[in-house]
Amino acid sequence: MSRVVPHSLFSDFDINLFKAGKHYRLYEKLGSHPIEVNGEKGTYFAVWAPSAKSVAVVGDFNYWLEGDHKLNVRWDESGIWEGFIPGVDVGTKYKYKIHSHNNDIMTEKADPFARLCETPPNTASVVWKADYKWKDKKWMGYRADKNGLDRPYSVYEVHLGSWRRREGNGFMSYTELADELVTYLKEMNFTHVEFMPIMEYPFDPSWGYQLTGYFAPTSRFGKPEEFKLLVDKLHQNDIGVILDWVPSHFPEDAHGLGFFDGSHLYEHPDRRRGYHPDWKSLIFNYGRNEVRAFLISNALFWLDQFHVDGLRVDAVASMLYLDYSREEGEWEPNMYGNNENLEAISFIRELNEEIYQSFKGVQTIAEESTAFSGVSRPVYLGGLGFGMKWMMGWMHDTLEYFKKEPIYRKHHQNDITFSMTYAFTENFMLPFSHDEVVYGKQSLLYRMPGDEWQRFANLRLLFGYMFTHPGTNLIFMGGEFGQSSEWNYQHSLDWHLVQYDLHSGVQQMVKDLNALYQGYPALYEKQFSTEGFQWIDYGDAENSVLTYIRKGHDEKNDLFIACNFTPVPRENYRMGIPKSGTLTEVFNSDLKKYGGSGMKNGKVKTSATPWHGRDQSVEITIPPLAVVVFQ
């Protein structure tokens, strides 16, 4: 095998951008790139390791011995080591053997920019070129309209390793999922799918939230081009793709980013800012230019190379606060004496500005659990610049309310109405995520009180209330058919349950709710505006009933919603209406096909009986533990 040939993909301009933290396409330069130099095929390698004394490429092409394949350090103090090795082809396994100036430490590290990694528990990087011919031109052309904040977002959250498994409990491949998952999402009328992290991760119980291969789709399910096929098929079926993305922390695995070149290269050197006590992981140094460029390049990589439509950014709260999950004395205030991580805030703003500037029709979504102000407001208005934020408070309050026996709910009416006091302070997405169905919390179905019928009626009511509440929606896989057991990442969902009427009924109702949400503009056109919602009556605690109006651009499309949170039917229930006419029931969670009791309204005419401060009113039936929607 030939020795290393001096070669570079970096211009002086690239290096200046990199040092300034403004090079947002580093994946085009760093890492391994199969190319041809002077008529000879091989691979160019480049790695950032400023504290290294020497860096060699070792792999199956040289028996993992550093010998002749030491990279050359650049003269410009960028800390980049690079070189071209003839004969190294696609499929070659490799690592970087790094000798450090610090205490002469020697480590073998996976390539931070590798496009493919060995399947865990193996840890080598693989030279790869994910050639793929995209067929989603149509989607990419109108994506900006599909993905706008005034469009429906009904998101199905998926863990690819456990959505459905093969016979014998083996993983399904990206290619198989491109048939089965896409067909299911289309059939269920979901508008988007959100994948829990698919970047390479070493430890299955982390569910993908402890990443080591930031630029590589996990090889558990196939090759990068096969993941592209999955995204492409979703787009061809008008389904948007959101990826979970984790810039908040990374694991200490020996082959990963930690202590990369014998120094604290990617992580903050101060343990109070560089280590997560909750997750026993390392925290990025957001104040270091090259680290910011690494992370922003990574976000853009998935949007650029994989045509992804959105990033849901994990654990944002842990990035924003220096005292996150720390006791007194375990953190140090910022220069102003408070607990905000100014470097992380600056990084997040820069990230969002670059994403929205570079890609038309994408969204970023923050999983942020505190009252930090302006998370989904533009940077130029002082916000963090996200498109949406998960409404964690709503999720918590709603589930707490629903677990109460209906007889006690009248004493907790404020718990279910409180969300409307802050519903429009951010662009909120309403999530029932994977975190709510693990670690002894039980499945959504088994958090509901009552006998079997009431449990299912409560679950149908929960989803009906969710879809008619302002904001976009996210349901974790399994919830849509009333999975009875907690989620287990090691096994398939309990698909056998859909043979039973009550489970298939919930599934049919979620399918119809998705269609309702997309078919009625009043549910999405002003989903983030106070103009899109109006109470009819939030004070009927005695009956545990809520009535409200959802509005779009045209008042002819207004929807009138009534929720009954008890198992007692509310017949001849009077509801104030702003004008005279006939109301038609367009959705009812109590239909027999959903497993309900079958109480219906059909059409109801208003009368000139003033009610709820309005000149007109109607008498309706609100079935037990149900939501009804009228137009």
Instruction: State how far the Cα of 443 lies from the Cα of 437, in Å rounded to an integer.
Output: 5
Instruction: State how far the Cα of 120 lies from the Cα of 118, in Å rounded to an integer.
Output: 6
Nearest alpha-carbon partner for 513 in 569, 460, 549 = 460
SS3 for 584?
Answer: strand
Nearest alpha-carbon partner for 316 in 270, 268, 374, 356 = 374
Instruction: State how far the Cα of 310 lies from the Cα of 387, in Å rounded to an integer.
Output: 9
Q: Give the Å distances, CA to CA, from 71 to 81, 125, 189, 541, 547.
A: 6, 17, 52, 72, 69
Question: What's 103's DSSP letter?
Answer: T
Q: Is the peptide bond before 569 cis (omega within 30 degrees of 0)?
A: no
Instruction: State how far the Cα of 390 lies from the Cα of 402, in Å rounded to an integer.
Output: 19
Instruction: State how far the Cα of 82 lies from the Cα of 111, in Å rounded to an integer.
Output: 12
Q: Which tokens is 601 given? A: 């309204």
Q: Which tokens is 435 given? A: 């975190």
Instruction: State how far the Cα of 258 lies from the Cα of 624, in Å rounded to an integer.
Output: 56
Q: Any idea which residues carry the catalytic annotation?
A: 314, 367
Instruction: State how far the Cα of 458 lies from the Cα of 625, in Å rounded to an integer.
Output: 6
Beta strands, E only, 433-580: 472-476, 533-537, 545-550, 559-564, 570-577
Beta strands, E only, 433-522: 472-476
Q: Which tokens is 83 given? A: 């070189």
Nearest alpha-carbon partner for 309 in 259, 245, 400 = 245
Q: Give the Å distances, CA to CA, from 95 to 55, 56, 114, 405, 542.
A: 10, 8, 10, 58, 67
Question: What's 545's DSSP letter?
Answer: E
Nearest alpha-carbon partner for 113 in 41, 198, 26, 50 = 26
- Amino acid occupying residue 597: S
SS3 for 364?
Answer: strand
Q: Give the Å distances, CA to CA, from 381 to 65, 148, 330.
A: 55, 19, 33
Nearest alpha-carbon partner for 114 in 103, 124, 100 = 124
